[in-house]
Structures are given as structure tokens and as C-alpha cells.
Amino acid sequence: MMNEELDLIQIVTTSVLQELPDAFYEATGLATGIHDLNGELITSIPKCCFTKFCCNMFFSKEGHRKCRQSNSEADKKAFELGGPYIYHCHAGLIDVAAPIIVGGYHVGTVSCGQILLQQLNDPYRERVRRKLSGFPSRFIDVQMEALEEVPVIPLKRVRGFARLLWAIANSLVFLISNNIKEKRLNIENIKVISEIKARLQLEKDIHNAKLQVKEAELKSLQAQINPHFLYNTLDSIQWLAVLHGAEDIQRMIFSLSQVLHHSLDRKNLVTSVRDELEQIKSYLMIQRTRYGDKISYFINIEPEVLDFRLPKLILQPLVENAIVHGLEPKPSPGKVWINGWLSTPEEAVIEVGDDGVGIDRKSQSLLISEISASVGSSDQDSFSHHKLGLINVHRRLVQSFGNRFGLRIERNGSPGTIVSFRIPRRNPNDQDPS
């Protein structure tokens, strides 16, 4: 990420940035704004939102300078902490700063405050008076009167506001990252079109170079990320912002970032079972947030299996299929599980099962036939979305390990479905001679 891209105003319009602080003020009654690294406000705070004390201070020449300096110093401390920072401002009131960190760069801060943690007493009044000593005496007298009207909020509640402010900062990070991607969209579209043309030409010209054809198709399949999961997750985040606390939002945003990081890493097409499971745990955490108690999950993988290698994003389509087509139509709560064990010293079995509505024998036979026939076919338009996910997984397994490896679909003893596959200890694409 280039430094010139990290100007908030260049990345996100002020009107969009204004919405989150305004919503925070409406929910908490605390004046809230976004400012740059120099402590200068980017968004606007109407005078009516300030306490009288802070309004007098902020809109005076010397007071504004001190507010900017205080903001800037607190911003640096919040960035060093990597999270929200509760502090005394230059005039002695309590403020909260939450850094906006994009790709390791500190691009701005969300702040709120202008409050006290306890009822005023004479020592505190004297402390504030000393902090105002550089101002004219008449201004000090006015401020000391205004100090009596500053709201008092207990520290426990302020900490809750700090967590919510941190969630807002992280939401802005997500928004900023998306906008940076949109700025590059035209260039990326040209690159994608060129890549597609190159793949088509490659598949046409090098029929005898099987390994290169397989690599091109793997990359093509890797690029087929289901956007509906992302949309549903963002919808859940908005829902949480209204109905839940900041900790839930932070966990969900973190899980989403883990899923996207694993999914969009184009450099490594092969991963370990261990790393694939970490991505699945983040994915399942998001789904648990979305569905609540309707779904539960269990993961039981033998330690010897964790270091086996497999193509990336093999498990997520299987787990998603179990949830969407197995558990979602089920009226009562259900569970999905992932098991893994050594079937021989050189091979492992991994299964994804559910106790959902299941699949009838006719549909099972048809699905198995379509999956088996898909390996040598490039026609994907005739398959529905959930079949396409299973077919892509099957094809990638066969292309990586050989014809003996692929998906197996079974009906569970009770209602439900089990999808399993085997993987060898050797690396993907070291083809099985059979």
C-alpha cells in the first residue's frame, strides 16, 4: 500500500466518513469525530454536540491549537497500543481515541469524550485551573463555570464506549480497504481479462503440457470465490452493530479478515490441513454468529494428519454445503463436524458431515455421476451453484493427487450427509503413477 493512498479524504468521501461518528453521537450523546494525524478534524462536529467547556476551548484560537496538539499526542499513543486509549486532554477532561490502522499504517483516529469520570471536587477544580493558566483570566473564569456542567460517566461505561469506538475504527478500516480496491478496479479488470484470455489461449495451445494446463485451471477455480458469503457476513456485521456489543463485532470482523486473508492469497495454492482448519474455524465462527444456536460444530483431527498438504479452500465449500443444504432447511438445531484420521501410514481421510435434512438415494446417485463426469469437462454452466462447489473440489483433488483421489458422498445413518476424501502424504501434483 503506497503512502499517497493513505490520505483519508482521497480514499473515502467526507460524507461517508461522517455517518459513523454521527451514529455514535446519537447512541451515546458523546461528541465524536474523525481527525487526521495532526489532530485536525476531518469530519464536522456541530457546536450543539460539544459541552460548553469544550465548545469555548475548541473554537478559540489558542484552545484549538492545544486541542489539535492533545489529539495528535493521544493518537500516537493509541497507535502504539494498537487499540483504544482513554486519556486526560490538555484541559483535564476525559477523551477516548481509537486508531484507524490500514495495512500497518496509521491513517487517522476516531475520538470522543469531553467528560469526567467522577463528581467534581476542589482538588480536581484546582487541577483544571492550573491547566488553564496560560489563558486570559476572564476565559478561565468562564471555563471554570462551564466545567460544572460537564457530564460524569463511570469508567466502566467509558471502557464500553472505547470498545465500541474501536469497532467503528475497524469498520472504517474495512471500508477504506474496499475503497482502495475500488480505486484499482479498472486496472484489475484489465488484468483479469488479460489473464482469462491468456488461460484460454494456453488451454488451446498446450494440450500436451498437462501440468501447465492443470495449474491454469486450478488458478481459475481458485478465483471463483462465492460473493454471497461475503454479502451475508457484512449484513450480519450491520445487524450486530445494532443489537450486540463491540466485542462481538470485533470477533466477527477479525474472523472475516482471517477468512479473506486465506481466500485471497494467490501466492500459495497449497496449504496444510492445520492452516486450512484455522480458516474453517474463522468461517464457522461467522456462521455461528449468523445462525446462532441453530448450528453447532465439532472438529476432531488426529495430530498426525495436521501436517498433510492439500489444495487451498478445499474444506470451506464442503462445510458451506453442509450448512446451507443440510442444516438451514432443518427446522431444529443441527451440527456439522470435521473428522480426520490416518487410514494408512501414507494416506489420511477427512470427512465433513452433518445431521441435516440429508439426500435421497436418487439425488445421491445423480450427484455422484455428475461429479465423476466433471473431471474431463470444462462446461460448468449446466451445474447449479452448490453442485459447482462440490465439483470444483473434486476436480482439484483429482488434478492434484491423481484419479484415485476425489470426493465420496454418503448418506448418514440418521438424516444427514457425509462427504469425505483421501489425501496422500506426498505433495499435491506429485502425481500418483496409477
Mean pLDDT of all residues in 80-92: 93
In whole angstroms, give the CA distance from residue 111 to residue 34: 6
Whether the CB-CB separation of 372 and 356 falls below 8 Å is answered with no
- The three cell numbers locating residue 433: 503413477
Which one-letter DSSP state was computed for residue 100?
A: E
Identify the pLDDT of residue 151.
Answer: 93
- Class (C level, CATH) for 3-162: alpha beta
Identify the pLDDT of residue 350.
Answer: 96
Identify the pLDDT of residue 137.
Answer: 93
In whole angstroms, give the CA distance from residue 171 to residue 237: 9
Per the model's pLDDT, the better-predicted residue between 187 and 250 turns out to be 187
Percentage of residues in the chain with pLDDT exceeding 90? 41
- pLDDT tier for residue 20 given thresholds of 50, 70 and 90: confident
Mean pLDDT of all residues in 6-26: 71
Per the model's pLDDT, the better-predicted residue between 259 and 279 turns out to be 279
A 10 A CB-CB count for 100 gives: 25
Residue 295 has pLDDT above 70, yes or no: yes
**Concatenated DSSP letters for 13-80?**
-HHHHHHHHHHHHHHH---EEEE-TTS-BSS---GGGS-HHHHHHHTSHHHHHHHHHHHHHHHHHHHH
Mean pLDDT of all residues in 151-169: 92
A 10 A CB-CB count for 124 gives: 15
**Concatenated DSSP letters for 168-203?**
HHHHHHHHHHHHHHHHTHHHHHHHHHHHHHHHHHHH
- pLDDT tier for residue 3 given thresholds of 50, 70 and 90: very low
Instruction: Specify which of 1-10, 240-249, 272-281 reaches the highest per-range mean pLDDT.
Output: 272-281
Residue 419 is inside which H or E element, if any?
Answer: strand 417-424
- pLDDT tier for residue 278 given thresholds of 50, 70 and 90: very high
Residue 213 is inside which H or E element, if any?
Answer: helix 210-222
Residues in contact with 115: Cβ distance below 8 Å, sequence separation at least 6, in sequence order: 30, 51, 93, 94, 150, 151, 152, 153, 158
Residue 245 has pLDDT above 70, yes or no: no
In whole angstroms, give the CA distance from residue 189 to residue 183: 11
Residue 312 has pLDDT above 60, yes or no: yes
Which one-letter DSSP state was computed for residue 427?
A: P
Dmax over Cα atoms in the chain, in whole Å? Answer: 93
- pLDDT tier for residue 5 given thresholds of 50, 70 and 90: very low
Identify the pLDDT of residue 234.
Answer: 53
Q: Comparing 8-12, 75-79, 128-132, 361-365, which segment has the lowest mean pLDDT?
A: 8-12
Q: Where are the domains of the chain?
A: 3-162, 224-424
- Identical fold for domains 3-162 and 224-424, yes or no, is no
In whole angstroms, give the CA distance from residue 198 to residue 204: 10
The overall average pLDDT reported for the chain is: 82
User: Which SS3 state, helix, strand or coil, does residue 418 take?
Assistant: strand
CA 122 to chain centre: 48
- Provide the β-strand partners of residue 301: 340
* CATH assignment, 224-424: 3.30.565.10
Task: Tell me the per-residue pLDDT of 328-347, one tens digit each, with 9 for 90 and over.
Answer: 999 999 999 999 999 999 99
Torsion of CA 242, 244, 246, 251, to 10 degrees: -110
Percentage of residues in the chain with pLDDT exceeding 70? 75
- The three cell numbers locating residue 351: 470427512
Residue 434 has pLDDT above 50, yes or no: no
Question: Cα 260–263–265 angle (5° rounding)?
Answer: 100
In whole angstroms, give the CA distance from residue 170 to residue 164: 10
